[in-house]
Structure 1
Amino acid sequence: MRALLTLPLIALLAACATAPAPAPGRVRTTDQVNKGSLVGAASSPLRDINLLRTKIPQVLLDSLADPYARPYPMSCKEIEAVLAPLNEALGPDMDQPKPTKADRGLIADSREFVTDEAMREIVGAAQDIIPYRGWVRKLTGAERHDKLVRSAITAGGIRRGYLKGIGLAKGCKPPAAPTPYTGPPIKLRDPSTPKYPVRK
């Protein structure tokens, strides 16, 4: 099946190479891009040879350099202003409600038309185009860049939590502080209860 997919994938790769750059927005790791859509899966070889790279926003690079830099002036308005580009780069925080189907965008919509098994086949077929993929990723710098992307995302998340903590301490309102949870009570599983049925 993978052999049958190779030619269509090559054609799609050529289209990806000449396509305009996506609009600035949420940063995604290589794995997320590869598994997020058909185009992302088919274009994975271009990321393996470092021709396609995730652009890291400056706000995440700044967070990587100093995630605990204090905003100045230390005001609710300034905290909100500093958080805005972080939210754009990282997507919704954990205190935000989950997006509805209409808000998920094209990536989520495309996955509805492809089963997980088919997506794995497409990703595998695209990655099989390049032999010795692991070595190629190391030699081209793709693996090193992916590590930098993941580190920047982690640092951005740490900085966002830090800034919201400052906002909470100052009595700021969201989005300069965490949004209070207003849903139903969360039931925690008793740790002494086995997660799976056990035979007595």
Structure 2
Amino acid sequence: MTIWLLTLALAAGPVQAQNEAENSNSAQPDRMREVGRSAGKIASQPVRDVGVARTDIPPVLQEAAEAPYSLKGIKSCRDISNAFHALTDVIGPDFKAGEVKKENRAGKLAEAGGKTIVNSLIPFRGLVREVTGAAPAQRRLERAITAGYARRGFLRGIHQTRKCKTPLF
């Protein structure tokens, strides 16, 4: 019964996402890209768990992790804007106050079902991830992403303090 429900959720997710995308033409490319990214991450999880696929940290996040509050190489407002946008390209859009993002419930159910099925393929997954080095690599990536958020916030503050006119959005 549980497998049947998960299969139904997996099948309903893309259909629901497509229906919602058709109803909102402007959001269609973003939603379809997000569904594709999510499906790719879920499908490749076992390969990452056993250490076959490496978790690479983008250079901009490596730099942020090393010195999130450094102004090295930042001389002008354009430098600040370029550094801000480089981080945004890697970690996604910045937080916007008052923005409410509509969630695709069927898509989230499909994602959860897919993760459950894929993650059940590897017995003792947590132990396997530690032994193969996948878990420490994931923790390093998460630390670098957190540093990226901190650096982007720092750059926004410097941008405002210097009264820069270059756009950050």
Paired AA for residue 80 in structure 2 = I
Paired AA for residue 55 in structure 1 = D
Larger Rg: 1
- Tell me, in whole angstroms, the C-alpha distance in 1 between the residues paired with 2:60 and 2:107: 35
Whether the 8 Å CA contact 2:65–2:148 is kept in 1: the answer is yes
Whether the 8 Å CA contact 2:49–2:128 is kept in 1: the answer is yes
Whether the 8 Å CA contact 2:78–2:166 is kept in 1: the answer is no
2:89 equivalent to 1:53: no
Shift of 1:99: 9.6
Structure 1 unaligned residues grouped into runs of 5+: 6-32, 102-107, 180-200
- Tell me, in whole angstroms, the C-alpha distance in 2 between the residues paired with 1:41 and 1:138: 19
- Tell me, in whole angstroms, the C-alpha distance in 1 between the residues paired with 2:55 and 2:97: 25
- Cross-structure match for 1:69: 70
Whether the 8 Å CA contact 2:65–2:147 is kept in 1: the answer is yes
Distance of aligned partners of 1:73 and 1:38 in 2 relative to their CA distance in 1, 3 Å threshold: closer
Deviations 1:15-55 (A, max 9, x none): xxxxxxxxxxxxxxxxxx9xx63343233211211223332
RMSD: 3.2
- Cross-structure match for 1:166: 158
2:95 equivalent to 1:89: no
Whether the 8 Å CA contact 1:2–1:122 is kept in 2: the answer is no
- Tell me, in whole angstroms, the C-alpha distance in 1 between the residues paired with 2:160 and 2:133: 41
Paired AA for residue 129 in structure 1 = L
Distance of aligned partners of 1:126 and 1:159 in 2 relative to their CA distance in 1, 3 Å threshold: same
Structure 2 unaligned residues grouped into runs of 5+: 7-33
- Tell me, in whole angstroms, the C-alpha distance in 1 between the residues paired with 2:98 and 2:59: 27
SS, match of residue 43 in structure 1: helix
Distance of aligned partners of 1:95 and 1:148 in 2 relative to their CA distance in 1, 3 Å threshold: same
Whether the 8 Å CA contact 1:41–1:126 is kept in 2: the answer is yes
Paired AA for residue 81 in structure 1 = N
Identity within the alignment, %: 34
Distance of aligned partners of 1:97 and 1:79 in 2 relative to their CA distance in 1, 3 Å threshold: farther
Q: Which has the higher contact order (CA 8 A, sep 6+)?
A: 2
2:98 equivalent to 1:126: no
2:130 equivalent to 1:138: yes
Whether the 8 Å CA contact 1:41–1:122 is kept in 2: the answer is yes
Q: Alignment length, in residue pairs? A: 139
- Tell me, in whole angstroms, the C-alpha distance in 2 between the residues paired with 1:77 and 1:86: 14
Shift of 1:71: 4.2
TM-score normalised according to structure 2 size? 0.68
